[in-house]
């Protein structure tokens, strides 16, 4: 069987970012790296959005940036600059084209289009089986996500960020190209946490997306009806053409994904818990995790010890506990934060780059009762 130092399963964001980081680092120049993915990665199957302070390493392949955001709730309508941040959008196809060309250009990296069927631990090595072949590696980085592991436990809440979006073109100018609608909670909540998300690419072209943080998904028609109502009632758009449809589901949980790691196998991306539990944002967090992982690999330590809980994990856990028991409170919690704290401060907190004192200020801006109850219930569990 072909033998590699590292096998990366999945050529998504985390897999390609890791392959690129290893390929361009001279420390790993003598390491053989294999990337396996069932797809050729030649379609625009997703978009990633993130905010970043000024310029960044992905600027050359970004689809659009916005210097302003809009947030709305029952009482607050806030349109504001987020300087020095910019809200950025990256299309999947642009990312794949750029990074596949880069990683396959490294002499020690190989990409093979095959579907992985099994991962077998064999003492000091790992066997990765595909539909037609078998490969051996010293270390495996796996991005295949198994939802069943989350549902087969009750210790941690499991919600979903589920959404459906329409890329639409209008006949008349409608959209502000400088402003992304970050969260608009001024829509019927129906006992859930529901908001609209709008990314304008031009005055007549935008992504309009209906998003929920809840346990259960909806019938497709309900997402579509919500978008139709928003276009008609909030944006006064009567005539439009749907050019593309985006639909997705991101797990929101503080489940301990590190339990799936071992000395020579590490789960990465969503499969490794790299999605921010309280928001679902994954891409920018993955860039940070990859940098940490590359530094960690140089230490030669067991992969089972890579993942560590931080205080931000506990903040996310309390919010998810609240949303599981009182899902309708999500909008009011976010509205309270945006009422009392600057958006730049909130974005810094969501990026997990704040000090403990700054975090206390964010927490103090939130409704107190739900968090006190959630903390008390969580302490009783331990």
The pLDDT score that the predictor gives to residue 148 is 86
Contact 98, 211 (CB under 8 A): no
The CB density around residue 356, as the number of other CB atoms within 10 Å, is 7
Task: Kindly give the confidence (pLDDT) of every residue in the chain, 382 residues in length, as a single tens digit, with 9 standing for 90 and above.
Answer: 899 999 999 999 999 999 999 999 999 999 999 999 999 999 999 999 999 998 899 999 999 999 999 999 999 999 999 999 999 999 999 999 999 999 999 999 999 999 999 999 988 899 999 998 999 999 999 999 988 888 888 899 999 999 999 999 999 999 999 999 999 999 999 999 999 999 999 999 999 999 999 999 999 999 999 999 999 999 999 999 999 999 999 999 999 998 889 999 999 999 999 999 999 999 999 999 999 999 999 999 999 999 999 999 999 999 999 999 999 999 999 999 999 999 999 999 999 999 999 999 999 999 999 999 999 888 877 5
300 dihedral zone (left: phi>0; alpha: psi -120 to 50; beta): left
How far is residue 10's CA from residue 103's CA, in Å, rounded to a whole number?
13
Contact 104, 113 (CB under 8 A): no
Residue 85, beta-bridge partner list: 53
How far is residue 334's CA from residue 341's CA, in Å, rounded to a whole number?
10
The pLDDT score that the predictor gives to residue 54 is 80
Interacting residues of 266 by C-beta distance below 8 A, sequence separation 6+: 139, 140, 141, 142, 272, 293, 303, 306
**Encoded tokens for 22:** 């290893």
Tokens 């990409």 belong to which residue?
111
Reported as a single tens digit per residue, the pLDDT across 71-112 is 999 999 999 999 999 999 999 999 999 999 999 999 999 999
- Listing DSSP states for 23-91 in one string gives HT-GGGTT--EEEEESS---S---EEEEEEES--TTGGG-SEEESEEEEE-SS-EEEEE-TTEEEEEEE
How far is residue 161's CA from residue 143's CA, in Å, rounded to a whole number?
19
| CATH of segment(s) 3-46+90-149+254-305 | 3.50.50.60
Interacting residues of 282 by C-beta distance below 8 A, sequence separation 6+: 13, 48, 250, 269, 270, 274, 275, 276
The pLDDT score that the predictor gives to residue 382 is 58
- Sheet of 205-214: strand order equals 77-81, 68-72, 179-184, 193-202, 205-214, 158-170, 240-253
How far is residue 200's CA from residue 264's CA, in Å, rounded to a whole number?
44
Q: How many CA atoms lie within 13 A of 262 on its CB side?
A: 14
**Overall fold of domain 158-251:** D-Amino Acid Oxidase; Chain A, domain 2 (3.30.9)
How far is residue 163's CA from residue 197's CA, in Å, rounded to a whole number?
10
Reported as a single tens digit per residue, the pLDDT across 195-209 is 999 999 999 999 999
54 dihedral zone (left: phi>0; alpha: psi -120 to 50; beta): left
CA dihedral 25, 30, 34, 40 (to 10 degrees): 50
How far is residue 149's CA from residue 154's CA, in Å, rounded to a whole number?
10
How far is residue 187's CA from residue 232's CA, in Å, rounded to a whole number?
12
| Residue among 247, 215, 220 at smallest CA distance from 151 | 215
Name the pairing type of β-strands 109-113 and 33-37. Answer: parallel
Sign of the CA dihedral running 214, 217, 222, 227: positive
CA dihedral 169, 174, 176, 177 (to 10 degrees): 30
How many residues belong to the chain? 382
* Entry pTM: 0.94
């Amino acid at each position: 069987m072909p033998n590699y130092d590292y096998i990366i399963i999945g050529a998504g964001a985390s897999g390609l970012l890791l392959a690129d980081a290893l390929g361009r680092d001279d420390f790993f120049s003598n390491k053989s790296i294999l990337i396996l993915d069932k797809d050729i990665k030649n379609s625009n199957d997703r978009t990633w959005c993130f905010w970043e302070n000024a310029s960044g390493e992905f600027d050359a392949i970004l689809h659009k940036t916005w210097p302003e955001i809009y947030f709305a709730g029952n009482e607050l309508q806030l349109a504001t600059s987020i300087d020095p941040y910019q809200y950025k959008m990256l299309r999947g196809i642009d990312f794949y084209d750029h990074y596949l060309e880069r990683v396959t250009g490294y002499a020690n990296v190989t990409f093979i289009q095959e579907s992985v069927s099994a991962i077998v631990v064999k003492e000091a090595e790992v066997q990765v089986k595909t539909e037609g072949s078998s490969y051996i590696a010293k270390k495996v980085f796996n991005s295949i996500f198994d939802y069943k592991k989350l549902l087969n436990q009750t210790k941690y809440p499991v919600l979903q960020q589920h959404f459906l979006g329409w890329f639409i073109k209008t006949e008349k100018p409608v959209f502000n190209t400088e402003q992304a609608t970050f969260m608009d909670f001024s829509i019927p909540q129906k006992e859930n946490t529901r908001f609209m998300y709008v990314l304008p690419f031009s005055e007549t072209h935008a992504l309009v997306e209906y998003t929920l943080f809840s346990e259960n998904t909806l019938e497709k028609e309900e997402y579509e009806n919500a978008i139709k109502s928003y276009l008609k009632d909030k944006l006064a758009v009567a005539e439009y053409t749907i050019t593309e449809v985006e639909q997705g589901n991101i797990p929101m949980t503080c489940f301990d994904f590190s339990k799936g790691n071992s000395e020579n196998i590490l789960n990465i991306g969503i499969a490794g818990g790299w999605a921010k539990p309280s928001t679902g944002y994954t891409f920018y967090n993955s860039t940070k995790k990859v940098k940490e992982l590359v530094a960690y690999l140089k230490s030669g330590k067991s992969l089972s010890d890579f993942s560590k809980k931080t205080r931000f994990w506990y903040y996310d856990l309390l919010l998810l506990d609240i949303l599981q028991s009182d899902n309708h409170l999500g909008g009011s919690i976010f509205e309270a934060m945006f009422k009392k704290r600057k958006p730049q401060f909130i974005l810094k907190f969501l990026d997990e780059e704040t000090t403990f004192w700054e975090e206390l200020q964010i927490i103090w801006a939130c409704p107190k009762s739900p968090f006190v109850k959630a903390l008390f219930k969580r302490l009783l569990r331990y």
